[in-house]
Structure 1
Amino acid sequence: MTDTQQTAPAKSALVVRGGWDGHQPVEATEMFLPFLTANGYEVRVEESPAVYADDSYLPTVDLIVQLNTMSSIEAAEFTGLRAAIEAGTGFAGWHGGIADSYRNNSDYLQMVGGQFASHPGKRPSERTGEQSDNYVPHMIEMTDAAATHPITRGISDFELVTEQYWVLHDDYNDVLATTTQAVREWDPWNRPITSPAIWTRNWGAGRIFVSTPGHRVEILQNPNVKTIIERGLLWASR
């Protein structure tokens, strides 16, 4: 290498994980660290959103991967996160780690574009008090936009048996896949409800990617889910 040649700087990824252990925040995020490294990212892992308040570090990050369920976020932390995204940092995650993270902050919910409301489960007489009470068979159905989008291109509708997220959302999302809650005799609603299952969202100069499938490691190992998340991480990145 000559004096004028320099190697390209590595991209920077920040993984923020924590919250409810049922979503396996450590095991689940560890699955994707080799993928990020193989794609040229230097990866930093933090166990809380406190790092979002570091206004000298966060603007240098190209991609934030978050799996932090049912937690809270301080005002300075959210301010730092939002500023970084609006300036071009990508923000990506799956399931409750991004769509049920900070219920105490409505501005976060607006930025992400969807909030977990419920995951209707099995017939009450079949429930045992375990997570599996909420595992139901359901379809992840690709939208027309999915056929040409780099995250979902080549992926057809597929079935999962896991939590099916009912999501409160708005129409600013670019929805790549949906899932429809059935009407069952023990539920209080009387018509099917369709929620976004995979979506993207632009916020300032930043890109946001959300996949509601991803409850635990065994779902993340599903080839369709894994591929969608890996592509989503790269799509969202600066």
Structure 2
Amino acid sequence: MRRLVFALVLVCIVAPVFCVRAEGAEKPALIKALLITGADVGVHPWREMSETTREILVKTGRFDVKVCEDPHILESETALKRYDVIVFTIYTKPTIPAQGMENLLNYVKGGKGFYVQHLASASFAKWDEFGKLCGRKWVMGTSGHGPRSVFKSNIVNKEHPITKGLSDFDTDDELYAKLQGTGKINVLVSANSDWSKKTEPLVFTSKYGNGRVVHNAYGHDRKALMTPNVQKLIARGVEWAATGKVK
């Protein structure tokens, strides 16, 4: 009888612990994303765009997003270590101190993720290495686009985790063209530009040290970000940059 009572007590103690552990195991840790945003060119409603980007990530249930409106956060190596991926949506003309530049490069080289969106690749015009980090860079006076319009986007790489299962789609946005750079990139999505008369890469990946980089040229405003496939490209792109896979 005593043995039976002891066994029942043991079950009552162990079972809840096991259930808690099992339940916890079903919920993977959220990806910690640092979304750096701030003042942009006048035609870009940057707060609306950054909030929409944050919403797109959060609604997947896979991200914990911290929004920062000051690129000088890059000067804090300690702050950056808290995050799995940096989502860079800011076009900033002023440079940042050398320490901030070094911290960003080391962050990505060390194996973390970097995701850059729309005009953000035009930041730090005099910092050549930033362009290499982005894979391709918008250069004022060289890069450009025709009038905003509805255009067809073509899925180039149908097997990459970011684009797997996606079909070609139409979107209402600016079609960025003549992004500059010579480094190796893996083009995932492209479109034919009437302005440049060429096929332009709009979403692509690259490596920087041990880190993963995703460059997404979509995103003129909230309307542009409402296209379902664009939202998928954002969420999947940030996830892949952070983890190297998409669930």
Q: TM-score, normalised by structure 1?
A: 0.80
Q: Say what the alpha-carbon RMSD is for the aligned residues.
A: 2.5
CA 1:165–1:226: 2 relative to 1, 3 Å = same
- The percentage of aligned residue pairs carrying the same residue is 25
Kindly report which structure 2 residues correspond to 1:23-172, keeping only aligned pairs within 5 A, or say none: 23-37=44-58, 39-74=61-96, 75-97=98-120, 99-116=121-138, 117-121=142-146, 134-143=147-156, 146-166=157-177, 167-172=179-184
Query: Is 1:194 aligned to residue 199 of structure 2?
Result: yes
SS in 2 for 1:198: strand
| C-alpha contact 2:172 2:223 (8 A) present in aligned 1 | no
SS in 1 for 2:184: coil
In the TM superposition, residue 84 of structure 1 has moved relative to its aligned partner by 0.6
2:43 partner letter: G
User: Counterpart in 2 of 1:236?
Assistant: 241
Give yes or no for contact 2:143–2:180 (8 Å, CA) kept in 1.
no
What secondary structure sits across from 1:214 in the alignment? coil
Q: State how far apart, in whole Å, the 1-side matches of 2:184 and 2:78 are.
A: 30
Distance 1:76 1:220 in 2: 33
- Distance change >3 Å, CA 120–CA 14, structure 1 → 2: closer
Which amino acid in 1 is paired with 2:50?
Answer: T
Which aligned runs of 4 or more in structure 1 are off by greater than 4 angstroms?
Answer: 5-10
Number of aligned pairs? 216
Identify the match of residue 19 of structure 1 among 39, 47, 61.
Answer: 39
Query: Matched residue of 1:210: which SS?
Result: strand
| Secondary structure of 2:130 counterpart | helix
Cα displacement (A) at 1:52: 0.7
CA spacing shift, 1:27–1:45, aligned 2, 3 Å: same
More strand by share: 1
1:72 deviates by: 3.0
Unaligned runs of 5+ in 2: 1-15
- Determine the structure 2 residue equivalent to 1:181: 193
- Gap change, CA 1:9 and 1:156, over 3 Å in 2: closer
Tell whether the 8 Å contact from 1:198 to 1:212 is kept in structure 2 after alignment. Answer: yes
Q: Is the 1:10–1:40 contact (alpha carbons within 8 Å) kept by the matching residues of 2?
A: yes
**In structure 2, do the counterparts of structure 1 residues 48 and 22 end up closer, same or farther at CA, with 3 Å as the change threshold?**
farther
Distance 1:9 1:151, change over 3 A: closer
**CA shift at 1:106, angstroms?**
0.7
Q: Is the 8 A contact 1:119 1:163 kept in 2?
A: no
Q: CA, structure 1 residues 156+10, in 2 after alignment: closer, same or farther (shift >3 Å)?
A: closer
